[in-house]
């Protein structure tokens, strides 16, 4: 019997899901697809400076799973940059988190958005 799928927890979807050369059309040979969970590992490890262990806890998967996802994501980024291909971010095995109050961690973008107004006058940070 197959092991049940464990969904990867993702805190937010990318603001943009298409990147690449401005003068290239998206055809069968000029694009690379990165999944949303691969995007999340790049965001957490490279942007938020998480370790792979911290990233694994945040995404609710094993560290070895994060390592595999991260390696695949970096390979896709490199292919897009080096070969001038459009990078599309879509699909994957993920579920959106429910925010910090539901055991999400410090890298949660939903939590940050809810903290935009922190002082008494309601001015943004």
- Going from N- to C-terminal start, the domains of the chain cover 8-114
The pLDDT of residue 39: 97
Quote the pTM value. Answer: 0.78
* Segment-wise mean pLDDT, segments of 10 residues, the chain, 125 residues: 81 90 76 96 96 95 96 97 94 82 64 38 36
In this predicted structure, what is the pLDDT of residue 52? 97
CA distances from 113 to 17, 26, 56, 85, 123 (A): 20, 32, 22, 32, 13
Q: Are strands 86-89 and 18-19 parallel, antiparallel or unpaired?
A: antiparallel
Give the pLDDT confidence score for residue 117 in this predicted structure.
Answer: 29
Q: What is the pLDDT, as a whole number, of residue 54?
A: 96
According to the model, what pLDDT value does residue 110 have?
Answer: 59
| 80's tokens | 């897009």
Cα of 63 vs its chain's centroid, Å: 16
CB 33 within 8 A of CB 40: no
**pLDDT value, residue 106:** 72
- What is the pLDDT, as a whole number, of residue 19? 92
């Amino acid at each position: 019997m197959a092991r049940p799928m464990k969904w990867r927890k993702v805190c937010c979807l990318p603001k943009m899901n298409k990147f690449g050369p401005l003068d290239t059309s998206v055809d069968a040979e000029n694009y690379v697809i990165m999944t949303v969970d691969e995007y999340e590992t790049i965001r957490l490890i490279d942007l938020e400076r998480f370790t792979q262990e911290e990233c694994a806890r945040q995404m609710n998967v094993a560290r070895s799973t994060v390592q595999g996802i991260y390696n695949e994501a970096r390979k896709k980024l490199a292919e897009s940059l080096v070969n001038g291909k459009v990078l599309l971010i879509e699909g994957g095995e993920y579920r959106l988190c429910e925010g910090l109050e539901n055991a999400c961690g410090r890298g949660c973008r939903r939590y940050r958005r809810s903290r935009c107004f922190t002082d008494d006058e309601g001015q943004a940070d």
